[in-house]
Structure 1
Amino acid sequence: MTRPLRLLTLGHSYVVGTNRRLAHAIAQAGAGEWEVTVAAPKAFPGDLGPIALEPFPGEMPRLVPVSVHGAGRVHTMRYGRHLRALLREGWDVVHCWEEPFVLAGAQLAAWTPPEARLVYATFQNLPKRYPPPFAWAERYALRRAAGWVAFGATVHDALRVRRGYEHLPVAVISPGVDTELFRPEAQAGARVRHSLGWREDGPPVIGFLGRFVAEKGLRTLIGALDAAREPWRALIVGGGAMEGELRAWAARREDAVRIVTGVPHHDVPAYLNAMDVLCAPSQTTARWMEQLGRMLIEAMACGVAVIGSDSGEIPHVVGDAGMIVAEADEAAWTRAIDRLLVDAAYRHVLADAGLRRVGAHFALPVVARRHLDFFQSLL
C-alpha cells in the first residue's frame, strides 16, 4: 500500500484558529492521499493583545505548537528549536506561509531537509528592493525553494520576473474564505442592527471592514457619503489610527453612523450580514497597494453587494460580481453609493453574483484542491 504524502504547513498567523481553516480544508481535500500537519506559535502578539494558540473543534490536521522569538517584529522573528526538530520528521512538502524575505523564511530554507519540496506563499505585489539582511534572506530562501504560491494576479505580475522567482514553478491561488462561517444569515444581521440601536425599516447600511488607516480610503468614503443624495446608515468596523477622526465624523451624523472596534473574527460574519453594501475604497501609495481585499470575499460570501476601488488586487477579486470605482474619485464613489442606495434590485443582483463568484473561485474546498494540485506537480 502506498503511504500518504506528508505535508507540513506553517506560519505565525496560524496562532488564530480561523487562519488554519485553509489547512483544515487541505486535509479534508487530501484525505487518504495526504497527511497534513500544522505548526503554529504557542502564542503571538495581536493587535488587541497577546493571542494564545487557538484550537478549533473538529480540526483535522495534527496541530503542533512551536516557540517563536522576537515575535513583536515579524520581519526579524525567528522560530525556536521545536520547529527544527519537527522538520526532521520527513516531509514531502513544506509549505511556508512566511514571506521569503523575512528572517523566518530564510530560517526555514536552512532547516528544511533537502529531500522535502519547500514552497513559499507571498502577498508581495510591489517590486520592492530590500536592504540587508532581508535581500540576502530572500535570495537564500529562493535558492532552496521548489516553487511559490502567489496570493493574487498582482503578486504574480510583480514577482514573476524578479531574480530568484523567475525560473521557479508558481501557482496563483487566493487564500480563500470559509463559506461555513461566512454565509448569508439575515437573522444574525438583524441582531447586530438591533444591538446598535437601529430599526429594521431604516435606510440601507453602507459598511466598511478593516484597518482604520488612510490608505484604506476612509476619507474618500466619508466624503462620498456626505455628498450622497439618498438617506443612508454607515457601519464602520475595525480599528486603527483614524478611530478618533471617524468618531468625530460619527458625532456630526447623529444616529446615522456606528463605529465598532474590537470585533473578534468569529463575530465578523454577523456584522457583514448587518450591511447592505460593503465598500473597499483602498488607495495605492508609493509603498502599498491592496494585496487581496479579504473583506470583499468575506462580504460576497455573506451575500452582501460590494463596491471596490481599482487599487491592486481588488478588480481581480471582484470581477463582474461588484462595482469597481477609481480610487480617490470621491464623486464617482458618491454616484456608485447613490445607485445602490436607491436600487435594491441591483443590490440583489450583485449579491447573487458575489455568492456565485465565491463558490467558483474562493471557497476553501476549491482553494485547497488547487494547493494540493500544485504540491503534487512539484513531486
Structure 2
Amino acid sequence: MPPPPRLLLISHAYAALENRKKLQALAAHFDLVCVTSTIEQRTILGRPSSDFDNDSDADTRNYQLIRLTRRGSSDTTFRYAGLASVMRSRRFDVILVENEPWAVICWQTRFWKSLLQRHALFGEFTWENVERPGWKGLVLACIYRAMTMTTDFIIAGNQAAAKLVQRRGARSNNVLVAPQLGVDLTNHQPASSAERRELRKAQGLPENAFIIGYCGRLTEEKGIRELIAACDELQTVHLALLGSGKLESWLKEQSQTRCWLHLLPPRPHFEIPSFLRCLNVFVLGSKPVHTMQLCWEEQFGHVLIEAMACGVTTIGSNSGAIPEVIGHDEAIFPHGEAKSLAECIRRVMNDFTLAQSQLERTRKLYTHDAVAAQWASFIQQQLARAT
C-alpha cells in the first residue's frame, strides 16, 4: 500500500484547540504537517488566551504541529517568520493555505512554494463570498485573477465563494465547496429534559421556559435588533444572548425593561455546547453589509452546525451561506424582517421533526470526519489528475 500524500497545511485557525480536532481527522488521510501561530499571552474576550489555545492535546496528535511567530497586525496582513525553513525541511506533495486570496500569508506561501516546492500542488481555502464595491473591487479583481492563475485547486467555504473564484478564472473541476471545520459530536449532543434543566440552572436561566438563543458577536450585522423585536412580538419566550460586541451597552439597556432577556458573557469553545444544549431554538439572523468600510455576508456560520449537532431547532436568515448550511427552507426567514422572524419561530416551536432532521444532516455532512473525507477525496483527485 503506497504511503499517504504529504500535506503541508498553513492556517492560524489551528491555534484554537477545538479546531485542531479537524486536523486529527485529516491526518487519517495524509502525512500531515500543520503550521499555525505560537501561543499568545493575552486576553481574548475577557479570558486568558490559554482557555482557547494550549498544548494539552500534544500527546494525542497524529500529525506534526509547527508553531511560528506571526509578523503583522491582522489575520489578513500577517506573515509567518520561519516559513521558508519549514518548506526546506522535507518534500511535500500538497501545500494548502487557509485565508482570503489577498492575505499576505497566501502570497508568502505561494512565493516560497514556487522556489522550494515546485513539484507540489498548491491550494487555497477561502470563505470570501462578496464582490467589493468601488476601487477595492477593482484591485481585488486583479488579485483574484492572479490567485486563480497560480493556484492548482481551491476549497471554497460556500457556494458564493466558489462562483466568485470561477468568475476570476478558476475551473469548476478544480474547486470544491466544503466547510473549513466540522463539529465534534462527543461534546455536541442533544440534552435530555433533565439535563437541560440542570444546564439552565447552572447558567442562571429559567428552568422551564421556552428559550431562544444566539451566541457570537453582538453586532448590528448579526441581526440582534431584529431578534429582540421578534421576541417582543412573541411575548411568551425568553432570549439568551452569549457573546460580546458593539451592541452590549444597548442590550444592557434593553434588559432593564425586559425580564425575559438574559445576557451571558463570552466563553471559550469548549464551554459553548453547555449553552447551546440549554436552548429550544437557535437563531442566526445575519444581515448583509455592502459599504466601502465593511462588505460582508455570512460566510458559513459555524455555530449553526454546533446548534444542530446539539439537537436544537436552528433557524437563520437568507443572508450569505446560511440557507445552504441549514438546508431546510422552512427554517429560513428574510433578513432584517423582525415580523418574519417571529413567524418563523412560531412555525418551528412545536416542530420536533425539524430538529431531528437537522441533527441527522449534521451527522452526515458536518462532523470533523465528514469534512476531512470531503477534503481528502478532492485533494487526492487533484493529485491523480496532476500525475
Equivalent in 13, 22, 31 of residue 35 of structure 1: 31
Deviation for aligned residue 1:136:
6.5
In the alignment, which residue of structure 2 is the partner of 1:247? 252
- Report the alpha carbon displacement of residue 139 of structure 1 after superposing the two structures with TM: 4.8
Q: CA RMSD in A?
A: 2.3
Farther-moved stretch of structure 1 (290-299 vs 321-330): 321-330
1:1-379 counterparts in 2 under 5 A? 2-28=2-28, 30=29, 34-44=30-40, 46-48=44-46, 51=49, 53-57=53-57, 58-70=60-72, 72-81=73-82, 83-88=83-88, 89-112=90-113, 113-128=117-132, 130=136, 138-163=144-169, 165-166=170-171, 169-175=174-180, 176-186=182-192, 189-201=196-208, 203-229=209-235, 231-254=236-259, 256-286=260-290, 287-320=295-328, 323-341=331-349, 343=350, 346=351, 348-379=352-383
CA distance in 2, matches of 1:138, 1:246: 39
- CA displacement at 1:227 relative to structure 2: 1.0
C-alpha distance in structure 2 between counterparts of 1:56 and 1:122, whole Å = 29
Sequence identity percentage: 27
1:213/1:4 Cα in 2 relative to 1: closer, same or farther (>3 Å)? same
Equivalent residues of 2:211, 2:281 under 8 A apart: yes
> Structure 1's 151 and 208: CA in aligned 2 closer, same or farther, altered over 3 A?
same
SS of equivalent residue, structure 1 residue 332: helix
Q: 1:198 to 1:131 in 2, by over 3 A?
A: closer
Q: CA 1:47–1:132 in 2, change beyond 3 Å: closer, same or farther?
A: farther
| Paired residues of 1:102 and 1:134 also in contact (CA < 8 A) | no
Residues 78 and 48 of structure 1: CA distance in aligned 2, closer, same or farther (over 3 Å):
farther
- SS of the equivalent of 2:252 reads helix
Structure 2 stretches lacking a partner, 5+ long: none
Measure, in 2, the Cα distance between the counterparts of 1:208 and 1:85: 43
Taking a change above 3 Å as real, the CA distance of residues 310 and 321 of structure 1, as seen in their structure-2 partners, is closer
Letter in 1 for 2:177: V
Alpha-carbon distance between aligned partners in 1 of 2:142 and 2:348, rounded to the nearest angstrom = 49
Shift in CA distance, 366/252, structure 1 to aligned 2, threshold 3 Å: same
Measure, in 1, the Cα distance between the counterparts of 2:279 and 2:178: 28
Do the aligned partners of 1:9 and 1:23 also contact (CA within 8 Å) in 2? no
> Equivalents in 2 of 1:76, 1:154: separation in Å?
23
1:2 CA displacement: 3.1
* Aligned 8 A contact 1:184 1:301 in 2: yes
* TM-score, normalised with respect to structure 2: 0.88
C-alpha distance in structure 1 between counterparts of 2:144 and 2:187, whole Å:
35
Cα deviation digits, residues 140-198 of structure 1 (max 9, x gap): 544332110011112112322124x3477111111222222322234654333102333
Deviation at 1:289, TM superposition (A): 1.0
- The Cα of 1:133 is off from its aligned counterpart by 8.2
**What per-residue deviation string (whole Å, max 9, x for no partner) do you get for residues 40-68 of structure 1?**
11135745477465234323221111121
Looking at structure 2, the residues matched to 178 and 59 of structure 1 have their Cα atoms a distance apart, in angstroms, of 16
Query: How much has 1:131 moved relative to structure 2?
Result: 7.4
- The Cα shift of 1:135 comes to 6.5
Look up the equivalent residue of 1:198 and give its one-letter code.
L
Shift of 1:246: 1.2
Amino acid corresponding to residue 91 of structure 1 in structure 2:
F
Query: CA 1:4–1:340 in structure 2 vs 1: closer, same or farther (change >3 Å)?
Result: closer
- Aligned residues, how many? 365
Pair 1:86–1:189, CA change in 2 (3 A): farther
| Corresponding letter in the other structure for 1:14 | Y
Alpha-carbon distance between aligned partners in 2 of 1:205 and 1:360, rounded to the nearest angstrom: 27
